[in-house]
A and B are shown apart, each in its own frame.
Chain A
């Protein structure tokens, strides 16, 4: 049975803040207090240094391989992203034909922006999701994740980066190529811009992860995460530049949108690609949001850890 929502019984269990786990803790401890009470928040000392790096690298590779199993689905996604790229491109072309040079873009810039950002949908998971964390919180499986001797957030990040690398190949490259062949796009001429774009794209994916992690963690408090998901989708689509390039937003709305984290996911990497933005400023802006979101994620994880009670037995 795969119903998305826990039935009434699951709900009662969560109300009591008890996530039943069928096995004992790592040292055979059966009582939750032994695990999380006196010993602080971590069940076992967390791995650090080189060992941690090796661990996260392994998870990263498994994340990549897990998603690389579904080539067909990824290419279907790329097809759909490309079709929507055409629809968006025609609207932008009509606008830029009416107002040539609007907002410092020419028609080709607008087309490039359109197909490039359609390609962002996969790696950045702009429609939400990509993490199975929310589902694991609902079912109680997260108790296992929390008892691992590694940071829950870093574990999820490593897995998510593996996913993003695969989806970049499968879902970012095809729409951009089709856009280049059918309409013609601006490609960066020098290696420095390509390097800056790679850095900007990576930071964008981490910002996207930070936001999605917070959305998933909200499941600890409100159980059904679909409401938060849908609000998050609204903010992402509008303030990232997917609905319309942020350069078209007038006055204070444009200033606001440019400062919010969603800009770091779509508008900023696209501008770096087009060479429309000071590279160091763009990367610093993204890095600041990465730091803020990961710190918030770590704080939320600590609070959530206190909330979870593992039922032994």
Chain B
């Protein structure tokens, strides 16, 4: 926490840059939404879903992704730290290297991103008239989403113990997962949907629970109870990620630089 505050103060030393960073971060995510809006100027439904429904999926995925990124996104900088030798410094400090990685260069501008996603969700929800009997799922799915994304980031970080020279591979799964869950999965091919349901459980971020909230039939005909499996999927993946991180850490040999 103290480390995070320190990094915010460091960034505030350059006020003009800081303001531009926050605006930039807000706009980047705003443009994703503008793209979705532009798509809907050409068509009334995408993959069988209307604009408010897609905004609901975008908002829940975006909130989870932004919060996970805020808290753990820096874990994927591992290879940079290994190469620069700063990871060795983290190992000898009396604090968890994982926590040190997470707060290093803590970038508060990601708050801008969270705010944007929450705003979208707040606009979409009233238009969908979700009864409270189903709306209870929304906070739970956002929470599970945070855990799922954080676990994927950790796995991506752990992978870099092996692939120090190829850190970008992890982006395909972290940012790729963020991008994938912004759209209804019916857009993507059936095989891809099965893969993100049963292999990398991204479908549990907002797709399966989202179907429950929206009260829609599963276009792939998967069982109804899968919609409540979010917490189980999140917990499983988090355990796997924890194990992978530990294994990577044990395997790590400093280059001595």
Interface residues of A (CB under 8 A from B): 1-2, 4-5, 8, 11, 70, 72-73, 75-77, 79-80, 83-84, 86-87, 90-91, 93-95, 98-99, 102, 222-228, 230-231, 233-234, 237-238, 243-244, 248-250
Q: How far apart sit A77 and B169, CA to CA, in the bound complex (Å)? A: 7
Can you pick out 13 interface pairs between chain A and chain B where the beta carbons lie within 8 Å of each other? A73-B166, A76-B165, A76-B169, A79-B168, A80-B168, A94-B187, A98-B43, A99-B43, A102-B42, A227-B18, A230-B28, A230-B109, A250-B41
Q: How many A-B residue pairs have CB under 8 A?
A: 123
Give the docked Cα–Cα distance between A237 and B8 (Å).
27
Q: Given A75-B166, A237-B28, A243-B31, A84 and B176 touching (CB < 8 A)?
A: yes
> Which residues from B are CB-within-8-Å of A75?
166
Chain A residues whose CB sits within 8 angstroms of the CB of B188 once the complex forms: 87, 90
The docked-state distance in angstroms from the alpha carbon of A226 to that of B45 is: 38
Contacts of B176 in A (CB 8 A): 80, 83-84, 87
Interfacial chain A residues near B50, Cβ < 8 Å = none
Q: Is the CB of A222 within 8 A of B41?
A: no
Q: Which of B9-17, B61-69, B121-129, B239-247 contacts A (4 or more CB under 8 A)?
A: B9-17
| Interface residue B25 (Cβ < 8 Å from any Cβ of A) | yes
Instruction: Give the docked Cα–Cα distance between A99 and B45 (Å).
Output: 11
- CB of B169 within 8 A of CB of A80, answer yes
Query: A2 to B86, Cβ gap below 8 A?
Result: yes
Which listed residue, B13, B163, B172, touches A80 by the CB 8 Å rule?
A: B172
- Asked if B167 lies at the interface with its beta carbon under 8 angstroms from chain A, I say yes
A99 vs B41: C-alpha distance in the bound complex, in angstroms? 11
> Which residues of the other chain, B, contact A102 by a CB distance below 8 angstroms?
42
Tell me how many residues of B have a C-beta within 8 Å of chain A: 48
* B16 with A243: CB separation less than 8 A: no
Interface of B: prevailing SS: helix
- B93 CB to closest chain A CB (Å) equals 15
Q: For the complex, what is the distance from the CA of A72 to the CA of B167, rounded to whole Å?
A: 10
CB distance A76 to B168 under 8 Å? yes
Chain B minimum-CB-distance residue to A238:
B31
Separation of A225 and B16 alpha carbons in the complex (Å): 10
Q: Judging by beta carbons under 8 Å apart, are A222 and B39 in contact?
A: no
Cα A248 to Cα B39 in complex, Å, equals 8
Does A233 lie within 8 Å of B24, measured CB to CB?
yes
B13: which of A11, A226, A237, A248 is its contact (CB, 8 Å)?
A11
